Amino acid sequence: MKTTYKIVLASLATLILLAGMSMRKAVLPQVKLGFIPLTDCAPLVAAKELGLFQKYGVDVVLSKEASWANIRDKILNGELDGAHCLFGMPFSVYTGLGGKAGSEMQIAMVLNNNGQGITLSKDFCGLVGFKEMNKVAAAVKQVQARKEVTFAMTFPGGTHDIWLRNWMAAVGINQKSVGIITIPPPQMVANMRVDNMEGFSVGEPWNGMAAAQNIGFTEIASQDIWKHHPEKALVVNKQFAAKERENLKNVMKAVLEACQWLDNMSNRKKAAGWLSKPYYVNAALPVIEARLLGSNDLGCELGVQKYKDDYMTFYNKGFVNTPRKVHGMWFLAQYVRFGMLKSNPDFKGIAEKLILDDLYAEVAREAKVPVMTDDMKAFKTTYDVMFDPGNISAYLASAKK
């Protein structure tokens, strides 16, 4: 009888222990993060699929969103705690280009460098090839002789918009002579198919998909415009960053580990498999995989361009993830350069307000990863003049418009 009693007590104790463990698991703080169907949402996807969010004590729900405008609205109203987001977007929104002026979306860390592109439609096949910058302006005029030429980007003042405008300035296209429209990334290929535009600037895999479907070809990749440029960032709701700092730090640690995992090239095929699923990017696996591995089939019988050290990177020994104020200042300067802002904003003040570099440094130290110095030194992109954050007026006076 005593033995039976002990067995019952032991069983009850086990049940109570299991129930307690289950309750602890159930009460992990929930964080909701948005993403757009692009290859560079991979850090959030990998952190989810590898169980890294749970490892660091947060229950992350990923929400697939239809457009960057949706991401903006949901971050600002708190429906999303944060999101995979264009690095330039918080600056665009704050200055009133892409939202209500003064609205604060904060950058916690950078998710990737490189891996975007500019695609031209089949109208340009035979007129201009890959990186043939000296032929583009004449090709545009030739096409304009029979139709209006329109280019698409994904969000005013976002990275894709700025890569497009930098490319147009470099090749000598007067930006007032063509149309520039906004189209969400997953809709780019379909819109080009029905002749809504002659070119677009977007992230992968949509440049690759246009080439694979024989709708257009890759004229240039974003890393050819600026090698190792900041691209997507983890952008967060201001109140979430202030009130749930530890939860945000744990999210960032999970994403940092995912970024390191993704930069092991042997893991990229597995990552491509996840990304191709309907609930993530929903695009052809071979296209996602090839461009993740740095192999760009350009389309239009232009062959394959292989990138050896400047394919899409997610960690790069810590270089990728540190958010730098100097990069924010560069984006703000582009808005003035291209006439999107009529007067100079507070370049440094806005960058300091929107970039959480101190938070990132704290997370990186705890995660034992390098923090890159935001040394505010002058730098130069491929086709532009030197950008000196200490003398932005000089830059604006000499940069091509």
Average pLDDT taken over every residue of the chain: 95
pLDDT at position 186: 97
Q: Is the pLDDT of residue 24 over 50?
A: no
Query: Where is 181: in which H helix or E strand?
Result: strand 179-182
* Residue 23: pLDDT band with limits 50, 70, 90: very low
Q: Is the pLDDT of residue 13 over 60?
A: no
In CATH terms, 116-225 corresponds, of 3.40.1190.20, 3.40.190.10, 3.30.70.2190, 3.30.230.10, to: 3.40.190.10
pLDDT at position 373: 87
- pLDDT per residue as tens digits for the range 51-105: 999 999 999 999 999 999 999 999 999 999 999 999 999 999 999 999 999 999 9
Q: Is the pLDDT of residue 357 over 60?
A: yes
**How many CB atoms within 10 Å of residue 190?**
14
Strand partners, 235: 83, 107
- pLDDT per residue as tens digits for the range 110-127: 999 999 999 999 999 999
40, 84 in Cβ contact below 8 A? yes
pLDDT at position 163: 98
Cα dihedral across residues 169, 320, 336, 191: positive or negative: positive
- pLDDT per residue as tens digits for the range 177-234: 999 999 999 999 999 999 999 999 999 999 999 999 999 999 999 999 999 999 999 9
CATH architecture of 30-113+228-283+312-398: 3-Layer(aba) Sandwich (3.40)
pLDDT at position 18: 54
* Residue 8: pLDDT band with limits 50, 70, 90: very low
Minimal CA–CA distance to 133: which of 116, 120, 149?
120
Percent of the chain with pLDDT over 70: 94
Q: What is the pTM of this model?
A: 0.93
Q: What is the mean pLDDT of residues 361-365?
A: 97
Q: Is the pLDDT of residue 397 over 60?
A: yes
**Range(s) of the chain covered by CATH 3.40.190.10:** 30-113+228-283+312-398, 116-225
Percent of the chain with pLDDT over 90: 93
Q: Is the pLDDT of residue 172 over 80?
A: yes
Whole-number Å distance between alpha carbons of 54 and 42: 17
Q: What is the mean pLDDT of residues 240-251?
A: 98
Phi-psi region of 72 (alpha: psi -120 to 50; beta: other; left: phi over 0): alpha
DSSP for 144-170, written as a single string: HTTS--EEEESSTTSHHHHHHHHHHHH
Amino acid, single-letter form, for residue 297? D
Q: What is the mean pLDDT of residues 302-320?
A: 97
The Cα-based distances of 229 to 144, 239, 323, 324, 391 in angstroms read: 32, 28, 11, 11, 21
